């Protein structure tokens, strides 16, 4: 398997599992993963949040781990990466306001590089205006944004993922097995057991 270089975008109050698990899984299969957050440097940390489904009408939020970034956002050269992965949680709602984040997404989309986004991470894709005519999923509360942005929102169980060309999306962290497997397939990663 050829190692890929993946840019992983996260931020303060990104969902804990949606940051920790994909990062660790992508490393586990041998890829190089640079975790970044606008305004932060290598060695700085983001505060994650744990979103859980406790029976309320929406998810609950509890403090998560401190996640250490292993690369500085200001040093990112998008041309050096094979793929982009975007964590969900609350971080995307403010990350999508950063023009450099939008420019990164445009780069990956323009060159048809794999883009994986989970949960509210899809808000960054809609803000970048790259979902027109695309089929994707998201956390259900983000579904209307997908539709307004010209995408086709696909309602799937939280354990599923949707693939449309280079775009791999999932509704929430319970979909990690399907989402990461689909992302690895789009990346061309083969795992031998």
Q: What pLDDT, on the 0 to 100 scale, is given for residue 54?
A: 86
- pLDDT at res. 130: 98
Gap between the Cα atoms of 67 and 87, Å rounded:
12
Output the CATH code of domain 5-187: 3.40.50.880
Q: Is the pTM here over 0.75, yes or no? A: yes
Residue located via tokens 């403090």: 63
Active site residue 37: no
Q: For residue range 37-65, what is the model confidence (pLDDT) as tens digits?
A: 999 999 999 999 998 888 888 888 899 99
Measured between alpha carbons, how far is 153 from 64 in angstroms, rounded to an integer? 29
Q: What is the reported pLDDT for 64?
A: 95
Q: Where are the alpha helices (DSSP H) in the chain?
A: 16-28, 91-95, 99-110, 122-127, 143-148, 176-187
CA 5 to chain centre: 15
120 flagged as catalytic: yes
Domain ranges of the chain: 5-187
Alpha-carbon span 45 to 29, nearest angstrom: 24
Cα angle 166, 168, 170; round to 5:
170
- The answer to whether 85 and 8 have CB atoms below 8 angstroms apart is yes
- Name the catalytic one among 34, 37, 119, 176: 119
Q: Taking Cα atoms as reference points, which of 113, 123, 108, 130 lies closest to residue 15?
A: 123
Residue 92, pLDDT score: 98
104-114 as b/e, with b when 16 or more CB fall inside 10 Å? bbebbbeeebb
36 within 8 A of 72, measured Cβ to Cβ: yes
Catalytic pick among 31, 51, 120, 176: 120
pLDDT tens for residues 95-140? Answer: 999 999 999 999 999 999 999 999 999 999 999 999 999 999 999 9
């Amino acid at each position: 398997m050829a190692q890929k270089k993946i840019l992983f975008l996260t931020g303060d109050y990104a969902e804990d599992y949606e940051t920790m698990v994909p990062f660790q899984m992508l490393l586990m299969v041998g890829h190089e993963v640079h975790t970044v957050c606008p305004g932060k440097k290598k060695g700085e940390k983001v505060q994650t949040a744990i979103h859980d489904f406790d029976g309320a009408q929406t998810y609950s939020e509890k403090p998560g781990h401190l996640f250490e970034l292993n690369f500085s956002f200001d040093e990112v050269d998008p041309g050096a990466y094979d793929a982009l992965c975007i964590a969900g949680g609350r971080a995307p709602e403010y990350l999508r306001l950063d023009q450099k984040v939008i420019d990164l997404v445009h780069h990956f989309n323009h060159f048809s590089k794999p883009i994986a986004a989970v949960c509210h991470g899809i808000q960054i894709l809609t803000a970048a205006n790259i979902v027109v005519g695309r089929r994707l999923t998201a956390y259900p509360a983000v579904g209307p944004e997908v539709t307004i942005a010209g995408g086709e929102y696909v309602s799937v169980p939280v354990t599923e993922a949707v693939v449309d060309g280079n775009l791999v999306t999932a509704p929430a962290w319970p979909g990690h097995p399907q989402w990461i497997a689909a992302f690895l397939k789009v990346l061309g990663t083969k795992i031998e057991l």
